[in-house]
Amino acid sequence: MPVEIIPVKVPGLWPITREAGSIKVAGTPIRDLILSRIPELPGDRSLRCRGDFLPTAEFAALIANGTGNCIVRDPSDGADLMELSIAGTSGAPTIIPVDPASFRLRHPWDLLALNEQLVGALDANRIEGTVRAGATLDGFVRLGKGSVILPGVYIEGNVVIGEDCKIGPNCYIRGNTSVGDRCHIGQAVEIKNSLLGDKVSVGHLSYAGDSVICDRVNFGAGTIISNLRHDGRNHRWLENQVFVDTGRRKFGAIVGENVHTGIHTAIYPGRSLSENSMTTPGEVVSHSK
């Protein structure tokens, strides 16, 4: 293949354990977002790109149209992010530093930043599902085939909703939120600036803000994710026994795949739930688990 996306698992994305390129952001796998930014290559060229690196279209074109073999390297950790090979070209490849406008996934909150960037850029509606009378769309919405937005739903800001979803009735979705395929967001639920995977069910009377919720997660009724520290400071994230400043004043939870919460679960801000974990009814999650 002239363009190859290299599968990469990013330890810093924990508790998200899947290969980075397969993660969907704004309804599209990251590998497809990468491919959409790389121009068509002549037959004598091949290009490899890591699945955790999303170049700008301008930078991708600069590399693809280069005159010789080259490697894009991140000077912060020495990782080779892209590699262009031209048949018949000899000599050591030129090392090119990554441009600051391109996007590299290092931490789970980077997914929120990328989702905000992509969903926030929507400038038109694309409605392939059904919007019932009594629903309000106050922003640009992409609604997939087979999905239905029920009466009383209020969408404020830009939102992406996948295929075969049931939204509502009487729930509040705020931008910039992305909902995967075959999801259910129930009665009196509020979702704000979050990224939901496929087959996610958020039970009635629940709230999730500034959070990443992975595939096949089920929230029991009344599950609440807090997203704001009482002192108003940026959230910190424990990584390799060191606290990292996320740069985010509002940051909810990172919920791994196949998590089930009991009714009335309360989750402190900046916490994570590892894949396949569960909470009991009324549990307070004050530490990542």
Torsion of CA 77, 82, 88, 91, to 10 degrees: -20
Q: Are residues 20 and 64 located together in one domain of the fold?
A: yes
Domain limit, last residue, from 63, 86, 102: 102
- 119 occurs within a structural domain: no
In the numeric block, which tokens belong to residue 26? 């704004």
How many domains does the chain contain in total? 2
Residue type, 166: K
pLDDT band at residue 1 using 50, 70 and 90 as cut-offs = low
Given the structure tokens 């796998």, which residue do they identify? 29
pLDDT band at residue 32 using 50, 70 and 90 as cut-offs = very high
pLDDT band at residue 160 using 50, 70 and 90 as cut-offs = very high
- 65 occurs within a structural domain: yes
- 206 occurs within a structural domain: yes
Residue type, 152: G
- 45 occurs within a structural domain: yes
pLDDT band at residue 236 using 50, 70 and 90 as cut-offs = confident
In the numeric block, which tokens belong to residue 48? 């490899």
Asked whether the beta carbons of 185 and 179 are under 8 A apart, the reply is yes
**Local structure of residue 22 (DSSP, 8 states):** G
Mean per-residue pLDDT over the chain, rounded: 94
- For 259-283, give the secondary structure using H, E and C: CEECCCCEECCCEEECCCCECCCCC
- The secondary structure of 135-194 as a DSSP string is -EEES-EEE-TT-EE-TT-EEES-EEE-SS-EE-SS-EEESSEEE-SS-EE-TT-EEES-
**Domain containing 143: what range?**
126-285
In the numeric block, which tokens belong to residue 45? 């060229």
Q: Are residues 65 and 135 located together in one domain of the fold?
A: no
pLDDT tens digits for range 38-69 = 998 888 889 999 999 999 999 999 999 888 89
pLDDT value of position 23: 96
pLDDT band at residue 239 using 50, 70 and 90 as cut-offs = confident
Domain limit, last residue, from 40, 68, 102: 102
Q: Are residues 155 and 242 located together in one domain of the fold?
A: yes
pLDDT greater than 90 at residue 235? no
- Other Cβ atoms within 10 Å of 186 Cβ, number: 20
What CATH number has the domain bearing residue 261?
2.160.10.10
pLDDT value of position 208: 97
Number of continuous H segments (helices) and E segments (strands) in the chain: 3, 34
pLDDT tens digits for range 125-144 = 999 999 999 999 999 999 99
Catalytic residue among 204, 260, 264, 287: 204
* 264 flagged as catalytic: no
Q: Are residues 132 and 255 located together in one domain of the fold?
A: yes
Q: Are residues 167 and 80 located together in one domain of the fold?
A: no
